Amino acid sequence: MTTRKTPETLRSHKWYGVKDLRSFGHHSRTAQIGYHRSDYMGKPIIAIINTWSDIASCHSHFKQRVEEVKRGIWQAGGFPLEMPAITLSEAMQKPTTMLYRNLLAMETEELLRSYPVDGCVLMGGCDKTTPALIMGAISMNLPSIFMPAGPMLRGDYKGKVLGSGSDTWKYWAELRAGNITEEDWQDVENGIARSPGHCMTMGTASTLTATVETLGLTLSGATSIPAPDSRHQHMATLTGKRIVDMVWEDLKPLDILTATSFDNAVTTALGLGGSTNAIVHLIAMARRAGVDLTLARFDEIARRTPVILNLRPTGKYLMEDFYYAGGLRAFLVRMGDMIDGSTRTVSGRTLAEDIAGAEVYNDDVILTRETALVAKDGLAVLHGNLAPGGAVIKPAAMEQQFRKHTGRAVVFKDYNDMAARIDAPDLDIDKDSVIVLQSAGPQGAPGMPEWGQLPIPQKLLKEGVRDMVRISDARMSGTSYGACVLHVTPESHIGGPLALVRTGDLITLDIEARRIDMQVSDEEIAQRRAAWKKPIPKFSRGYGVLYLKHVQQADKGCDFDFLEPDYVDPSEVGTD
């Protein structure tokens, strides 16, 4: 049990509590920003790491929310300091926000380390912001609480409900097939994201915030509240109040996060029918906390976990419906003994105590384990000669005839090659072919973008084909659909076997056996490997060089090696 903090044992005391020349600077500069000693002396100083910017469309309400967080901090006797951090705007940033997740994680950690901070509120929600903020906060291990952005309202188009991502792909396919007009398409554009908040399907954002709540890092029930709902404002204020007490209680991420809490988070991601991106991010967060979460563990948990949430892309509803149906707390109650309620949360209580009494108000949105949408195997981890380090697929969100399938590979050497040729009328491809994209992984793309839902060739779309087996070392948007084998490890750019596949090779996907193989002999693979040439690195200067030198593969969560807790710089190891 940790002992309660006193004003003298606060971390910020080293800046403000000592009488020296440096502390004169700290006091005079705090006066410069308008605060008298009586505003902050002896109080917990709370950094609010805010990922707001004009281009962070999902966080457009954070300018107001941060005021509500501050209100809570003041009320509880703390001293708030807002600290902006790099914006990762999923829909806007090229080549992918994933390239910058670790940069935001580093920035979070270093802001907390270098300033007089006793505890922090992490404001995020759009895809990579959530894991990045949490990763940084775990490494610094000061009392931390996550303030989730909340989902946007349901989309609306000509009386139809629109879901982020899922309906983009759907109507894009309809536009390409000539079934809707350009005018219709622009109506979809204006109706699909009509309020602040993150994507409201069970995509990466909703999956990640929900898993972070299950991990115990948000107020109970916080992540289901739609961003524009006034209850979201209440939650923001309560979050600000709670962090002040957490500082006095000295309740830190590493007091909360255990192997059991990560198992609960994996179970949650799977039970929600969540995004495959959660795999990479949960592994990265777990490793920061010293928990060795593996792909094998995901597969084990997936084999027993039903999908009981009826949300797109697996099901029918959206996050707003989930909230009205009881939200994550009700979902966790429904998961019953699949969730171990003995873990701790930011409330200071156990998860079981936090969710006690939560009820389901709509059984068609939150199902039961008996009426589950998918009984098990919402996710499958594959191995084989194409992916010795593992690959993943979401069997629940694909056409079921592909569960066991052999087809002829049609290989694209990179994204530009695919963009240039996929719709060519003379491309030799049919509905049984297996589309392969190389060079789309952490180093190859770079940044492992969400290219994994490879496009169906236009001529096949016109024939009514809506799904095919597709393979890449990329990730896939959590709102995507299809028989897409993702996260192939090791990636092709560093010489993984995916680099050696050629058009015409037969590839077999067998989900029951958890296999992905090319029907090419070991001798032939060895010959191709000998002839393989290492491609030119994608960056020659700047942050990109740091990224390429240190990013790990997908099975390790794509974190930088030097950010792992037990990292020792090889150049610093003595020889005597």
Using CB under 6 A, which of the segments 171-179, 197-205, 466-474, 549-557 binds ligand FES?
A: 197-205
Query: With respect to Mg ion, which residue has the nearer C-beta, 139 or 477?
Result: 477
- What whole-number distance in Å separates Cα of residue 445 and Cα of residue 467? 24
**Residue 118 touching ligand FES (CB under 6 A):** no
Among 204, 218, 276, 443, binds Mg ion (CB under 5 A): 204
Contact 167, 199 (CB under 8 A): no
- Report the run of H or E that residue 110 belongs to, with start and end: helix 98-114
Query: For residues 378-403, b (16+ Cβ closer than 10 Å) or e, as one string?
Result: bbbbbbbbbbebbbbbbbbbbeeebb
Query: With respect to ligand FES, which residue has the nearer C-beta, 30 or 206?
Result: 206
Query: Could you tell me the strand order of the sheet in which 45-50 lies?
Result: 79-84, 45-50, 119-124, 144-148
**Residue 205 touching ligand FES (CB under 6 A):** yes
Omega of the bond leading into 535 within 30 degrees of 0 (cis): no
Query: With respect to ligand FES, which residue has the nearer C-beta, 199 or 217?
Result: 199
List the one residue out of 490, 418, 499 whose CA is nearest residue 452: 418
**Residue 101 touching ligand FES (CB under 6 A):** no
Query: With respect to ligand FES, which residue has the nearer C-beta, 90 or 473?
Result: 90
Retrieve residue 144's tokens: 């931390």
What x-and-dash track marks residues 442-471 binding ligand FES by CB under 6 A? Answer: ------------------------------
Among 62, 69, 73, 90, binds ligand FES (CB under 6 A): 90
- What whole-number distance in Å separates Cα of residue 369 and Cα of residue 375? 8
User: Looking up tokens 């309620």, which residue turns up?
Assistant: 341
Using CB under 5 A, which of the segments 18-26, 72-80, 198-206, 300-308 binds Mg ion?
A: 198-206
Question: Strand pairing partners for 448?
Answer: none
Among 76, 103, 105, 126, binds ligand FES (CB under 6 A): 126
**Residue 198 touching ligand FES (CB under 6 A):** yes
Among 10, 45, 49, 58, binds ligand FES (CB under 6 A): 58
Measured from the Cβ of residue 291, the count of other Cβ atoms closer than 10 Å reads 18
- What whole-number distance in Å separates Cα of residue 435 and Cα of residue 454? 7
- What whole-number distance in Å separates Cα of residue 287 and Cα of residue 291? 5
Angle, to 10 degrees, between the axis of helix 543-550 and the axis of helix 98-114? 100
**Residue 501 touching ligand FES (CB under 6 A):** no
Among 41, 83, 91, 373, binds ligand FES (CB under 6 A): 91
Query: With respect to ligand FES, which residue has the nearer C-beta, 90 or 229?
Result: 90
Among 121, 199, 302, 351, binds ligand FES (CB under 6 A): 199
- What whole-number distance in Å separates Cα of residue 178 and Cα of residue 223? 39
# residues near ligand FES by CB under 6 A? 9
Among 477, 492, 508, 553, binds Mg ion (CB under 5 A): 477
- Could you say which residues in the range 38-57 bind ligand FES, by CB under 6 A? none
List the one residue out of 113, 121, 109 whose CA is nearest residue 247: 121
**Residue 387 touching ligand FES (CB under 6 A):** no
**Residues forming the site for ligand FES (CB under 6 A):** 58, 90-91, 126-127, 164, 198-199, 205
**Residues forming the site for Mg ion (CB under 5 A):** 127, 204, 477
